[in-house]
Amino acid sequence: MILNHKDAIEFLVSAADDIGFNRYTILVLHGLLANNLLVDPSAAGRLRYIAVGIERSAFHPLEVPQLIEEAFDKILATADAIVDPFEQAFFVMVQLPYLQPFDDVNKRVSRLAANIPLIKNNLSPLSFADVPRQAYTEAVLGVYELNQIDLLKDLFVWAYERSAARYAAVRQSLGEPDPFRLRYRAELRELVADLIRGCTGRKGAAARIAAWAAERVDPADRERFVEITETELTGLHEGNFARYQIRPSEFAAWRKVWEAK
């Protein structure tokens, strides 16, 4: 479940220019969050065809697949038309769990989907890490049973205030990220990983980096890209190589070649 959340968050961040309140984003989000968690694996990333119940509730969501699909599309269209990002976030937190468009994992989808407008507007992200489970359950049941959003609204505001404060503290301690590194984050990760897996030594690294940059990096950025890539390689050690999704055995093999005289 934790790895699924990691994959879903990385998807939202890496595809920030493409995500939105559309089928692609929400279906992919569910597919990532529900990976290996459903009785029917094919239901991950697919609108439900079956009836579902709500634990501890007499509420019964829609059961007809065609009506579920129509309501799902209407929710997305309405959310996309809302201008205020906070209103968008709260809207999907209310509407998606109420519809229950998927076999399971609906609330998790709604909480991460609430971050879509925040990410796109460069606002602090929303986290429910500190929210008591019982309080969240009661707030959602209030929507199911009574069509009352007040408790969930209060919880949303409380959670966002705490999230924003924590995010501000983290940003202050870490400083601003390098815009150049952010722009070429994927390229840097791909190239460094390739160099390590290929056991590229010091002598061959410079030529490979220059050739790679000549093919894929804008001319105005090539010199800086080459410099940063070389810095990343020389700064790798056992405590930071994992960020390039390299196995310990691959790093160890590369390290021997890199340090050879």
The answer to whether 256 is a known ligand-binding residue is: no
The answer to whether 105 is a known ligand-binding residue is: yes
The answer to whether 110 is a known ligand-binding residue is: yes
**How far is the C-alpha of 187 from the C-alpha of 120, rounded, in Å?**
22
The answer to whether 183 is a known ligand-binding residue is: no
CA distances from 76 to 22, 36, 81, 106, 224 (A): 6, 26, 9, 14, 41
The answer to whether 202 is a known ligand-binding residue is: no
CA-based Rg of the chain, rounded to a whole angstrom? 23
Q: 84: which DSSP letter?
A: -
Alpha helices in the chain (DSSP H): 2-14, 23-33, 65-81, 85-99, 106-113, 116-120, 133-146, 150-174, 179-183, 185-197, 202-216, 222-234, 248-259
The answer to whether 224 is a known ligand-binding residue is: no
3-state secondary structure of 37: coil
With beta carbons less than 8 A apart as the criterion, state whether 251 and 196 touch.
yes
The answer to whether 108 is a known ligand-binding residue is: yes
Q: 177: which DSSP letter?
A: P
Binding site as annotated, residues: 104-111
Binding site as annotated, residues for ATP: 104-111
